[in-house]
Amino acid sequence: MATDDLSSQPGSVAGSHDAESNGRAAELLREIPAVSAIMAEAKRLGSGLTDEALARVARGELDDVRQVMLQGGRLDRGEIERRVRDAISALERPRLAPVLNATGVVIHTNLGRAPVSSETAEAMRATAAHPVALEIEPESNERGGRMREIAGLLRALTGAESALVVNNCASAVLLTLAAVATGKEVVVSRGEAVEIGGGFRVPDVLRQSGARLVEVGTTNRTYARDYLAVTTGETAAYLKVHPSNFRAFGFVHSASTAELAVLGREHGLPLLEDLGSGALLDTTRFGLAPEPTLTGAIEAGADLVMASGDKLLGGPQAGIIIGRARWVERVARHPLARAVRADKTALAGIAATLRHYARGEAESRVPVWRMIGAPEGAIRERATCLAADLAQAGLVADVEAVEATVGGGSLPGETLPSWAVVLRSVDGESIDTLARRLRLGDPGIFGHIDQGRLLLDLRTVLPEEDETMARSLRRSLSP
């Protein structure tokens, strides 16, 4: 019998291919530099990270590179080294560095929502840097006082008896429902059982709080009598939700805060109202649609009102709960209150922001209202000056009328007339590449792309930021 030619057998061919493949992989893996070499180069370039931190970063990135190569990816030594250097650099520079918002969206969630006033920022900085009498009364040296300052300010501004601040509005709603209605029913209009944003759905929050949702009315029309029809001994509260990120028009009706407050008093039930935006100013004065205010809700009879601190209030992220003292105290005593309470910097920031309103200076000091209230003519003049500045540097830019929005889930569909500097791609560069260059500038500039052009809307850039913006544009756009 003839001896089989093993080299012609299928298994042998596969084995040959495997060996060849493994050989190529080994050759590629030899491109991966040693961790010690990476660390030495990082130190030479001035890295301030410890040896331990450098080693961990380098090993983690090189492990990822190894997996890419084993799966057929090709990276040369230069690419590998750049990848590791970028990972090290990312740890050495703050990611949350200031940027310029030229998107035309005043309250831009992806850019941190409301910028705060310089006074608010300083109050937060000083509070973070030093010990403060957070929960102790200096005069008596006894525990207390965490909410006294803010409660006093909100009492003066809204007429509410008491106040509590937590870390955001979603927490405020969840905490309030848990404290008031766990194990019982909460009546909500079907048209207000909405998703506010980021997956925050009213029915889900009710479920998490331990309360049971009872929907009444229809999607477009709900009356006070609908709430009355389902009120039983199991009812704990009525909940009214302001659908702040959409509007329903046409054949619609909703029960008013005043109507539900009267109904609640008749049956010994609290009315809870989620206002969302936290407005303290009349938005119609700025040519915008009316937005419910904290003061209006309290005057209409709501027992507890929940709102954000970082939307139309114009302060740092926080959830504000105001209303009748006995209900606020009940919420404050709930065990969940400690889990979601605001820290000292947020409290200092909210207090400083509220003082602007108490002094009647919100329109001139709170950035959100400065942007909303900026005269169109002044914005056009600023845009024209910026375009001229770029022209002197040999850069082409136009000026165009645009429409800005409030954003942040507030006043949907409402726009503000504005002016933008318009940039176009040159030398074959795509508009996306141009926008990326600006975002990675110093500081980064975020605009928005429309019809193949990059628009930089100056309504959402404060006047004192114009020179900084011009410098960043010159650096980013220069050849």
Q: Max Cα separation, the chain?
A: 108
Q: Are 414 and 289 in contact (CB under 8 A)?
A: yes
What is d(CA 196, CA 347) in angstroms, rounded to the nearest whole number?
24
Examine residue 3 and state whether it is found in any structural domain, yes or no.
Answer: no
pLDDT at 2: 40
For residues 358 and 379, membership in a common domain is answered with no
Nearest to 273 by CA among 235, 313, 321: 321
Do 243 and 316 reside in the same domain of the chain?
yes
Q: Domain range for residue 445? A: 99-107+369-477
Statement to judge: residues 345 and 386 lie in one domain: no
| Residue 468, Cβ density class (10 Å: 0-12 exposed, 13-18 middle, ≥19 buried) | middle
Mean pLDDT of 338-367: 97
Residues 199 and 306 occupy one common structural domain: yes
Residue for token pair 């940039």? 423
DSSP summary character for residue 138: T
- The verdict on residue 1 lying in a domain is no
Residue 348 lies in a domain: yes
Lowest mean pLDDT among 28-37, 55-64, 339-348: 28-37
Q: What is the mean pLDDT of the segment spanning 52-56?
A: 90
- Position 423 scores a pLDDT of 95
**325 and 205 in a common domain:** yes
pLDDT surpassing 60 at residue 55: yes
Quote the distance between the C-alpha of residue 111 and its chain's center: 7
CATH number, domain with residue 155:
3.40.640.10
User: Which range among 12-16, 87-91, 315-319 has the greatest average pLDDT?
Assistant: 315-319
**287-312 pLDDT, tens digit each:** 999 999 999 999 999 999 999 999 99
Which residues lie across from 65 on neighbouring strands? none
Residues 358-402: tens digit of each pLDDT:
999 999 999 999 999 999 999 999 999 999 999 988 888 999 999
The reported pLDDT for the residue numbered 4 is 37
Both structure tokens of 280: 């303290």
Domain final position from 310, 333, 365:
365
One domain for residues 302 and 240: yes
* Count of beta carbons in the 10 Å neighbourhood of residue 393: 13
At which of 365, 398, 414 does a domain end?
Answer: 365
Would you say 346 and 165 are in contact if contact means Cβ atoms under 8 Å apart? yes
Residue 419 lies in a domain: yes
**4-13, 233-242, 352-361, 437-446: which has the minimum mean pLDDT?**
4-13
> How far, in Å, CA of 28 to CA of 36, rounded?
19
> What number is the average pLDDT over the span 400-407?
96
Q: Label residue 410 by pLDDT band (50, 70, 90).
A: confident
Q: Are residues 355 and 402 in the same domain?
A: no
Polymer length in residues for the chain: 479
Domain CATH for 402: 3.90.1150.180
Q: Are residues 257 and 305 in the same domain?
A: yes
Backbone angles phi, psi at 423, to 5 degrees: -115, 140
Does a structural domain hold residue 469?
Answer: yes
Task: Using the 3D structure, point to which of 365, 390, 419 is the last residue of a domain.
Answer: 365
Helices (H) and strands (E) in the chain, counts: 19, 18
So what's the pLDDT on residue 443?
95
**Are 331 and 401 within one domain?**
no
> Do 415 and 329 share a domain, yes or no?
no
Residue 3 has pLDDT above 50, yes or no: no
Look up the pTM and report it: 0.87
How is residue 228 written in tokens?
Answer: 């009355």
Which own/partner pairs from 434-438 qualify as long-range (CB within 8 Å, at least 24 positions apart)? Answer: 437/476, 437/477, 438/472, 438/473, 438/476, 438/477
Give the least confident one: 32-46, 175-189, 258-272.
Answer: 32-46
Residue 36 falls inside a structural domain = yes
Same domain, residue pair 128 and 38 = no
- pLDDT tens figures, 139-175: 889 888 889 999 999 999 999 999 999 999 999 999 9
Q: What tokens does 231 get?
A: 């009120």
Q: pLDDT band at 270, cuts 50/70/90?
A: very high
Within a domain: residue 473?
yes
Are 154 and 286 found together in one domain? yes
Task: Indicate the pLDDT class of residue 202, thresholds 50, 70 and 90.
Answer: confident
The total number of structural domains in the chain stands at 3
Answer yes or no: is 2 within a domain: no
- The answer to which of 88-102, 115-129, 445-459 has the lowest mean pLDDT is 88-102
DSSP state for residue 71 in the 8-state scheme: T
Q: How confident is the model over 91-108, as a mean pLDDT?
A: 91
Contact between 397 and 477 under an 8 Å Cβ cutoff? The reply is no
